Amino acid sequence: MELLLVTETYLSIHEKNIRFINLKRLILTQCYFTERLIENLSLLIQYQLNELILTFDKDIIQLYLCEQWSGISRFGEESNLILKLKEFVFKLFSVKCQLTTLDLDISNDYDSIGIHTCFSLSSNRYLNLINNKLVTYCTSLRCLRIRLIYGVFLEQIIERVPSLEILSVQFACSLVKNWYLYEQQIKRFSPSVVNWRDKIPKLKSFSLKSEVHDNDELIYLKWIVNQMSYIEKLKIHLDLKKSKTINCVIDGHFVHKYCMPDILINLINFDFYIVSKCIFLLSTNDIEKIIDSFKTDQYVFNDQSTNVNCYFDPIMSHQHLSSTIINKPKIFDGIIDYPNIFDLQHARYINVDLRPSIYLFLKQFDVLFPHIDCIKFKMGTGTHELDNEPDHDIFLQSLLDLKHCRLQDIHLRHVTRLDFGRGIYRGQTSHDQDMYRIKLRAEVLAHLISMPIQLIHLRVEQFEWFIHLIKYAFDKLRKSALTTVRHAEFRLHSCHIGSNKLIHDGKNLIYLLSTYTPYLQTLRLWRNDDFPWTSIRPSYKKKFLRHVLCRRWILSLRKPESIAQHVTLFEQNLCELVEQLKEFVYLDIYWYTDPEKVEPYRSMVQKRFPNSQLHIEISRFRLWF
């Protein structure tokens, strides 16, 4: 039995009694962690599960930071939840775990929680937490796929998984993160052949994917692959584009020097993919010399030398080097994901910029990318960004001027999700006051939203753009283009800070959604303050006094009478939501509310919606109706 637990799902795994007696494989992504969940997971990995796929996403990191910012926990002190998270990770590589396959993602933990320190000698308390017994090995684990930040964590894991056969490692950023331990370790690296055969003798396959920023990281890479001199399969994926010190052309000599063990014992299959920034253009003759450099190095490559493929991207000045023959797709110069040109056949989404040639690209999109169901369009987010991109309006206008191309006749069969903007995150929204640009963007949105035959997921960086779409370009939308939308995401402006108009944009939210997306089932909102999406802040007529008056208003928000008003306001918001959207089932709101409001909000929801499931913290509100 397999169980998928994601952010939109609330299951009894959070409860005291686990009711999945046949469960063997568990997937937790974007999961809300509680102490009860961690306790149940500890029991599952010890007595029941064979495979676990677990991601510590950005939300749990933000929750910990929020506790510190709000004063719930002091800086330098760890909450019980964080302690239990570290203890659980420790257990994953101990005798308290019977997993055979583990997929672990801790790549979001940039020192916020400190998961990477759970094996450190200074963390002796974790040893005492497990029945006061020194627990060192997980003898059942055969396959480990891990995404992490610090290489020292990988080295510590190697000490604890003696039965490992398959190991896949992906670093979040660079191969050697700037951490004081590494500065000491790098100096100890030498070209001597020291392997991990005594620690993980059964290992047969190893893959590594990372960015490399400098020569010290290449030395660390060489040290790692020398540890693996006895394995049968080796795969290396390197991104050197951000390096300022590695200026050489990547050829057979480079791959031999840094990506291969000095001594080959059992190696049967070696795959690599390397992308780097070129300081000069590569000619056809240069590319032939690079390929020939592999043919002459018989010591390393043997029969694989005939499969080496080199490609130069003249737009981005990137050299792509791969051990396998790649059929490059026909693309246009607006694809932002250019570094992954060889991986497009495996991608589920594609990130593109608006260019005049986008029509030809979208016209053949279904043929080129039938496996991609999401397109992310980069849009101007505000005057500051657009000032840095003076040609952005030209691209937008060019797109609208392509009337002879009949852009409105393009229909995307496989795309079900559209994202607009650089990305949605916690923070203040930008406000564009240029009416020409506002209307232009609205028409662009109308054309693009009309393309998918069945648009299910719509993500718009700023809710203000959605208002402008309806107000200025509704006649450009394909009929019923929005009626198929089931999931929507928006970032709303602050309901406390800003102009009198902006703080009240949220009052249009439910009306617009119920009118134009009547079958909406889930909604995610990104707020700048508090959870209600309508505002009760007074209107300030004198602009020059607004800042002072807003500060006074914010200082009054923690008073009992203000809290009571916001509880009533939030209740009205929720009631209107479920009354107007008949198929609605899930609400997810990001941001920080005042700690004093958490329990009043919780009590209100439990009383008003007794059959619902609620998770509420100062940084997150989630409600399953």
pLDDT of residue 188: 46
Least confident among 301-305, 440-444, 611-615: 301-305
The mean pLDDT of 94-111, rounded to a whole number, is 88
pLDDT of residue 346: 59
Dump pLDDT digits (tens) for 340-365.
555 555 567 788 877 666 777 788 88
Q: Assess whether pLDDT exceeds 70 at residue 313.
A: yes
First to last CA, the chain: 27
pLDDT of residue 554: 73
Pick 327 or 239 by higher pLDDT: 239
Query: In 10 A of CB 523, how many CB atoms?
Result: 22
The residue behind tokens 């939300």 is 59
The residue behind tokens 């583990």 is 102
Cross-strand pairs, 616: 621
pLDDT of residue 35: 81
Q: Which residues contact 46 (CB under 8 A, 6 or more apart)?
A: 91, 96, 97, 98
Q: Helix or strand or coil: residue 623?
A: strand
Q: Which helix (H) or strand (E) holds 465?
A: helix 463-473
What Å distances lie between residue 332 and 253, 277, 435, 609, CA to CA? Answer: 33, 19, 30, 50
- What order of strands is seen across the sheet that includes strand 309-313? 2-5, 25-28, 51-55, 101-105, 143-148, 166-174, 205-211, 233-240, 269-277, 318-322, 309-313
Counting DSSP H helices and E strands in the chain, the numbers are 20, 20
pLDDT of residue 567: 94
- Cα distance between residue 346 and residue 351, in whole Å: 14
- Cα distance between residue 267 and residue 323, in whole Å: 15
Q: Which residues contact 112 (CB under 8 A, 6 or more apart)?
A: 61, 64, 65
pLDDT of residue 8: 39
The mean pLDDT of 566-574, rounded to a whole number, is 94
pLDDT of residue 394: 58
304: DSSP letter: G
The mean pLDDT of 151-178, rounded to a whole number, is 86
Average pLDDT over all residues of the chain: 78
Closest CA to 38 of 21, 59, 60: 60
- Cα distance between residue 84 and residue 127, in whole Å: 12
- Place 539 in a pLDDT band, splitting at 50, 70 and 90: confident
Q: Assess whether pLDDT exceeds 60 at residue 97.
A: yes
Closest CA to 56 of 67, 45, 47, 64: 64
Q: Which residues contact 333 (CB under 8 A, 6 or more apart)?
A: 315, 355, 357
pLDDT of residue 588: 93
Closest CA to 59 of 400, 418, 471, 524: 524
The mean pLDDT of 37-65, rounded to a whole number, is 83
Dump pLDDT digits (tens) for 550-564.
677 677 777 888 899
The mean pLDDT of 93-116, rounded to a whole number, is 84
- Place 21 in a pLDDT band, splitting at 50, 70 and 90: confident
Q: Assess whether pLDDT exceeds 70 at residue 100.
A: yes
Contact of 461 with 421, CB cutoff 8 Å: yes
Pick 405 or 10 by higher pLDDT: 405
**Token pair of 394, please?**
């030209």
Query: In 10 A of CB 197, how many CB atoms?
Result: 15
Q: What is the DSSP string of 151-186?
A: HHHHHHHHTT-TT--EEEEEEEEESS-S-HHHHHHH
